[in-house]
Chains A and B, each alone.
Chain A
Amino acid sequence: MKSGRFLSIIYSLLALTLQAQDVAGTERLADTFMRRGQYETAFKYYQRAFFFASKDKAPELYGKMGESSLMAGKYDFARQYFHKAQQIEQNDSLRAEWFLKKITAVVLQKRFKLALLEMLNYRGPLLPHQRVYAEYLKGLSYFGMEKFDLAHRHFEAALPPGDTLARQRLDRLFRRKNLMRPNPATAKWMSMFVPGAGQIYAGDWKNGLNSFFLNGLLAYLILRDAYTYSFWDSFAGIFPWLQRYYTGGYQRAEKIAKQRRKEKRARVFRRTYDLIFSSSANTQTE
């Protein structure tokens, strides 16, 4: 009985130390989850903070909900939250920040035309580091739309003005690599004329030789059967096989060329990204 009374006193005293979680505390907790890479949990806490926060905190919390959605890969949500933050933000530089993050979400959805349209319509002021990122985003949008000359121009504008070495490297990267090649249509037509030629043109020797010898063997069998038996025998027996592998060959040549071209563009883009963001002047972008 005595111990029960004692425990109830202790617990009552402990209760005095407890306090409700306030908005700032919830936001801090969400920030911690963000730093730890738990973006979905962070989003829930930002939502909770938003529910209880005053109106003046709304742009920041919308932005943070956008950031957590962006990092969680929910680009559509991210775009919507950044847009809301941009609409109600009073501070110019923060408005530009939310705008650029919104465009990031659009670019990550590979909606390059929309991203470019928004970028070209934006009339607000930009801080120097935001201008660098804006030029990079424009370059990226043009790159995604296969307008490589314009992409080159904007990537160049994103480089620090004094960094001539990076500029030369970028020039070399865009001038040496023909980003329109290998052309899938050319590869397809080449394989139509000589089976395997399109694959070799696209740089896939193994598949090219494979297709050449397989189609060659089937063509030889058609001729041999036509000579040994009759034309109709060979036409009915082996021609369907040749037709399959011949068609498969040129379809594959087109696919291989598409894939190789994508890989080449990805390599050039990665190197461009490295050039822009490894430049000492551009590393401090936030």
Chain B
Amino acid sequence: MTFLLSVMLWAQEVDSSGPPAYIRMTQDVMDAPVHRHDWSGPLRHARNEAVFVFGLMYWVYKNFISSQDIDSCVFTPSCSTYMILAIQKHGVFIGFLEGMDRLTRCSPFANGHYPINPQARKYEDPVD
């Protein structure tokens, strides 16, 4: 029993091979983490063909058009993401209308009407 406990504790202990841990920590100091977005979620989780078509349009837009644009949307999630999330949640018809409604609200006049997301530094407006 004692032997088993010792083995378990030993297995839990941090690897101490090579230089000490505080030196090993410095090897990551110059790292530049890459934030790669994966826009294929709506494609993979489409529940019917219509949602799949919208998912495909979203994927093309995000990869080839939006990726070249200036960051002009004032909301988080962005209008395109909002629309695809609304379509996924409420179906094509209602979701599309909600997305169009969001587009009409996306302007500098949104100031003061929405809480601010401090990380994104944008107005927070999730899909209901």
Binding site for B on A (CB under 8 A): 32, 35-37, 67, 70-71, 101, 104, 107-108, 110, 133, 136-137, 140, 143-144, 207, 210-211, 214, 244-245, 247-249, 251-252, 259, 262-263, 265-266, 269-270, 273, 277, 282-283, 285-286
Contacts and interface: CB of A to CB of B under 8 A. Distances in A.
A284 to B, nearest CB: 9
A133 B26 CA distance: 11
Contacts of B49: none
A248 B65 CA distance: 10
A273 B26 contact: yes
Nearest to A267: B30
Contacts of A259: 32, 34
A74 B51 CA distance: 46
A140 B21 contact: no
A266 B31 CA distance: 5
Nearest to B15: A37
Contacts, number: 87
Complex A-B, nearest 4 residue pairs according to Cβ-Cβ distance, in ascending order: A262-B32, A269-B30, A248-B70, A273-B27
Contact of B70 (A104, A136, A251): A251
Contacts of A249: 68
A71 B21 contact: yes
A256 B22 CA distance: 32
Given A210-B64, A210-B68, A259-B34, A107 B29 contact: yes
Given A108-B26, A143-B30, A277 B19 contact: yes
B68 A245 contact: yes
A211 B22 CA distance: 44
Contacts of A136: 26
A63 B68 CA distance: 51
A144 B23 contact: no
